[in-house]
Amino acid sequence: MLSGREAMAANLFPTTRLEAFSDGVLAVIITIMVLEMKVPHEDGIAGLLTLAPILFLYLLSFTFIGIYWCNHHYLIHRIEQVDHRVLYANLGFLFSASLVPFFTAYVIEKKSDSFSVALYAASMIFAGFTFLLLRIAVGRLLRKTGELECEDVATQRKHYASLALYLVAIPLAQFHPYLALGAITLVTVIWILPTVRTVPRSDLGQHS
Amino acid sequence: MLSGREAMAANLFPTTRLEAFSDGVLAVIITIMVLEMKVPHEDGIAGLLTLAPILFLYLLSFTFIGIYWCNHHYLIHRIEQVDHRVLYANLGFLFSASLVPFFTAYVIEKKSDSFSVALYAASMIFAGFTFLLLRIAVGRLLRKTGELECEDVATQRKHYASLALYLVAIPLAQFHPYLALGAITLVTVIWILPTVRTVPRSDLGQHS
Amino acid sequence: MLSGREAMAANLFPTTRLEAFSDGVLAVIITIMVLEMKVPHEDGIAGLLTLAPILFLYLLSFTFIGIYWCNHHYLIHRIEQVDHRVLYANLGFLFSASLVPFFTAYVIEKKSDSFSVALYAASMIFAGFTFLLLRIAVGRLLRKTGELECEDVATQRKHYASLALYLVAIPLAQFHPYLALGAITLVTVIWILPTVRTVPRSDLGQHS
Amino acid sequence: MLSGREAMAANLFPTTRLEAFSDGVLAVIITIMVLEMKVPHEDGIAGLLTLAPILFLYLLSFTFIGIYWCNHHYLIHRIEQVDHRVLYANLGFLFSASLVPFFTAYVIEKKSDSFSVALYAASMIFAGFTFLLLRIAVGRLLRKTGELECEDVATQRKHYASLALYLVAIPLAQFHPYLALGAITLVTVIWILPTVRTVPRSDLGQHS
């Protein structure tokens, strides 16, 4: 870790504002999606039922952005300073994330047709790609300031599995759009489930 | 409380970003509701009067989210670090809160009919349920780090009273939607009123 | 100032989250107004000219919220902890501020007719009233923690002058809506101008 | 740097809330632009192709605001306290930035006609002008607290080059709107490219 004066000279900045800005952008992204949902014309339970697929897609995209927020949190927590490269890589990631509400609206309006679901999967791959660039920029900075890069293997495996499932989802959407959405849903389940399971284990290891 | 290094090993993170992200999401939720309000076609006082029920519903939902923000503030203030479980439980709570603007628009568009008011009450129960999960996740973390869980009894009573009133509001909405909205309004009054009364008392006890 | 443990017992919380949440809400309020502006149908300079009154109203409301943000900043900066009363008074202020985009849209849609301009002035008085409640809640807290309340006289005079101008604007709007908008504009000028003049003076006093 | 008590007397405030509010406003600005994008009526790849110019304009405006956020970050990082002048200059900058989504929508709706592209370039010059006022206000504060103003020459050159390109873009838009958009795009490239190149060099200088 460089001292304050050295940090200034090397164009390093504390992570606080990058975190605050990213939190703000992701908070807006995750909530404006709700504006896409329109109150149905039918009254009563019939109207609510027409909403079911839209609510499901909203939940899916909300979880997608939510998981990325968690991963962003973990990633930036590992550094104390950012350079220009990380700032711009972060902007790239936020740009790709900001497209998710739009492509969610796309799937909703096109009623989950093959093309819109493939596009939705592609936008998720794009987000994954820009997040990978951010991880590389952070890793570069960690090596520069002399710290070991030690992202755990389980997390890396999850990134690969996600990419594989999204890549499968695109051709799958041509034949079975709903199966493709199932593959995308599976990715979010992968990210949430094992996390819950891992915590008690590491606690056991620590307290025994 | 674990030290910084132990916290890292146990996958604990400071609460700052969880707070910042939640503040951002709740800030967007509480203000996008105002976008649902449309300027009436009638000119003058007649137009304003057609707005009255909409303004009332907006005030009700604003207060609902505002109270949850206060409770979220109190809850997270009791911990200094969060684990994965708290992060994901928090995302669940934010998801349920993000549905409130939509179901507020639902009640407005359906002109407070039985079904929409029941749905509105149900969305509030859902928010209460996800907040309960968050409280459980926080309580679990407090016990793990060796701190006593000491949520005051008055607050717990308010949570039970709120749930009871919402559960009453759903069947009530079938017969008297406005009475059901009255029950929902009563919940927000319960949360605001006693708080104001409690503060001077605890001060008296402390300074005497 | 109470110690950390005493603060907990007296239900006091640091100001950080109140500030973060208020910043978030005011940031959303100040920017969603831009969504009210619609691209005109006419091409070229003619289209832009039809926008002029809308751009002016947007600037006016933006400045109004911006000044309140500054005043909120100054006010909360004087305390280090908040109690329930301040939290709820703050929510009341944010509610009144959140109505400003709506009543701005009202004036725009009704083309600055008498009623909409009077309503706009009334919404500004409402914001002033809830901000007064917040100032009272903060003053109460300052006295409780043994600190002197020392809001400068110039600021108090500005608050009174603003109220007087808004109260004049409401009846004035019945006859001359544009003059009433002029009075409202004068308020924002009062808040910005003297501030700029005061700073060098206090510096002179300090360095000489 | 003045002490805390002196800072209070000179009406200086820590930069934290200015940063938080600016982050919030810029986060909302950068993401509400995505709401301007409408799902096309055509199905399949044909629909996506009609989106291409809109996606490009969104990327351009996103990058524009993103670069300003970075520059704002660098600028405010150089001071530790703000006075009234900086607060109000900052509000002016945020106002000009908040117009960018509107003028982006303008270009999209007018299908990049001469007038809308010239207006778009003018709104960028306006943002540059208010940012210049903010830089002057910050420079004034730095001299007052006895610190040297030392903005690097490369950054100043970029500001001048940007202004020149925008000024060229306005008349150019009368004849070739797309060339004018090219000039605007070139500005964003100028800001991103050299930054990436500069970082390793300064590191080389430091570690050797």
Residues near B6 by Cβ (< 8 Å), separated by ≥ 6?
A206
- B24: which chain D residues are within 8 Å (Cβ-Cβ)? 24, 27
Residues D2-10 have a mean pLDDT of 51
- The pLDDT value recorded for residue A152 is 67
| Any A CB within 8 A of B97 CB | no
Per-residue HEC secondary structure of chain D comes to CCCHHHHHHCCCEECHHHHHHHHHHHHHHHHHHHHHCCCCCCCHHHHHHHHHHHHHHHHHHHHHHHHHHHHHHHHHHCCCEECHHHHHHHHHHHHHHHHHHHHHHHHHHCCCCHHHHHHHHHHHHHHHHHHHHHHHHHHHHHHHCCCCCCCCHHHHHHHHHHHHHHHHHHHHHHHCHHHHHHHHHHHHHHHHHHHHHHHHHHHHHHHC
Given a cut of 50, the residues of chain B with pLDDT beneath it are 1-5, 195-208
Residue of B nearest to C137 (CA): B196
How far is it, in rounded angstroms, from Cα D32 to Cα D52? Answer: 19
- Which H or E run contains B207? helix B177-207
The tens digit of pLDDT for each residue in B114-165 reads 999 999 999 999 999 999 999 999 988 888 876 655 566 777 788 888 888 9
Residue of D nearest to C74 (CA): D13
Contact C85 B199 (CB under 8 A): yes
- Which residue in C19, C70, C94, C104 has the most chain D C-beta atoms within 10 A of its own C-beta, making it the best mutation to test that interface? C70
Q: Using alpha carbons only, how large is chain C's radius of gyration in Å?
A: 19
| Any A CB within 8 A of B35 CB | yes
Residue listed under structure tokens 């869980």: B149
Closest CB from B20, B37, B59 relative to C102: B37
- Does residue C173 contact residue C129 with C-beta atoms inside 8 Å? no
Residue B132 CB-density burial (10 A; 0-12 exposed, 13-18 middle, 19+ buried): middle
Rounded to a whole number of angstroms, the distance from the CA of B164 to the nearest CA of chain A is: 23
- The pLDDT value recorded for residue B116 is 93
Nearest to B86, CA basis, from B10, B194, B13: B13
Rounded to a whole number of angstroms, the distance from the CA of D49 to the nearest CA of chain C is: 23
User: What is the ipTM, given to two decimal places?
Assistant: 0.85
Residues A131-140 have a mean pLDDT of 91
Residues near C124 by Cβ (< 8 Å), separated by ≥ 6?
C64, C100, C166, C184, C187
Contact A28 B28 (CB under 8 A): yes
CA dist A137 to A82, D66, D193, Å?
A: 9, 17, 15
pTM to 2 decimal places = 0.88
pLDDT grade for C202, boundaries at 50, 70 and 90: very low
How far is it, in rounded angstroms, from Cα A160 to Cα A163? Answer: 5
DSSP helix/strand/coil, C39: coil
The tens digit of pLDDT for each residue in D61-97 reads 999 999 999 999 989 998 888 988 899 999 999 999 9
Residue of D nearest to C191 (CA): D88
- D203: which chain A residues are within 8 Å (Cβ-Cβ)? 10, 144
Residues D27-42 have a mean pLDDT of 90
Rounded to a whole number of angstroms, the distance from the CA of B188 to the nearest CA of chain A is: 23
Q: Rounded mean pLDDT of chain C?
A: 84
Per-residue HEC secondary structure of B113-135 comes to CHHHHHHHHHHHHHHHHHHHHHH
Closest CB from C28, C91, C115 relative to B28: C28
Rounded to a whole number of angstroms, the distance from the CA of B206 to the nearest CA of chain A is: 37
Contact B28 C29 (CB under 8 A): no
- Which residue in A16, A22, A26, A31 has the most chain B C-beta atoms within 10 A of its own C-beta, making it the best mutation to test that interface? A31
What is the separation of C-alpha D152 from the centre of its chain, rounded to a whole number of angstroms? 18
How many interface pairs between B and C have CB atoms less than 8 angstroms apart? 93
Q: Which chains touch A (3 or more CB pairs under 8 A)?
A: B, C, D
CA dist D126 to D59, D61, D103, Å?
A: 20, 14, 12
Q: Is pLDDT larger for residue B172 or for residue A191?
A: B172
The tens digit of pLDDT for each residue in B146-160 reads 665 556 677 778 888
Q: Using alpha carbons only, how large is chain A's radius of gyration in Å?
A: 19
Rounded to a whole number of angstroms, the distance from the CA of D65 to the nearest CA of chain B is: 19
Contact B206 C9 (CB under 8 A): yes
Could you list the beta-strand ranges (E) of C77-139: 81-82
Nearest to A87, CA basis, from D196, D57, D204: D196
pLDDT grade for A105, boundaries at 50, 70 and 90: very high
Nearest to B102, CA basis, from C1, A35, C43: A35
Length of chain A: 208
Residues D159-186 have a mean pLDDT of 90
Residue of C nearest to A24 (CA): C24
| Any A CB within 8 A of C24 CB | yes
- A27: which chain C residues are within 8 Å (Cβ-Cβ)? 24
In A33-152, alpha helices (H) = 44-77, 84-98, 100-109, 114-144
| Any B CB within 8 A of A146 CB | no
Contact C91 B73 (CB under 8 A): no
- B10: which chain A residues are within 8 Å (Cβ-Cβ)? 199, 202-203, 206
The encoded tokens of residue C111 equal: 């083309």
DSSP helix/strand/coil, B2: coil
- Positive/negative CA dihedral, C28, C29, C30, C33: positive
- D35: which chain A residues are within 8 Å (Cβ-Cβ)? 32, 35
- C21: which chain D residues are within 8 Å (Cβ-Cβ)? none
| C-beta atoms surrounding C71 within 10 Å | 17
Q: Backbone phi, then psi, for B145, in 5-degree steps?
A: -85, 15
The tens digit of pLDDT for each residue in A15-67 reads 889 999 999 999 999 998 888 888 999 998 999 999 999 999 999 999 999 99
Contact A87 D73 (CB under 8 A): yes
Residue of D nearest to C23 (CA): D21
CA dist C40 to A102, C54, C98, D54, D165, Å?
A: 24, 11, 26, 18, 27
How far is it, in rounded angstroms, from Cα C151 to Cα B98? Answer: 39
How far is it, in rounded angstroms, from Cα B90 to Cα A178? Answer: 29
- A21: which chain D residues are within 8 Å (Cβ-Cβ)? 23, 26-27, 69
Closest CB from C84, C101, C115 relative to B199: C84
What is the separation of C-alpha B205 from the centre of its chain, rounded to a whole number of angstroms? 29
Looking from the CA of B7 toward its CB, the CA atoms found within 13 Å total: 17
Closest CB from C73, C196, C202 relative to D85: C196
Rounded to a whole number of angstroms, the distance from the CA of D172 to the nearest CA of chain C is: 15
Q: Rounded mean pLDDT of chain B?
A: 84
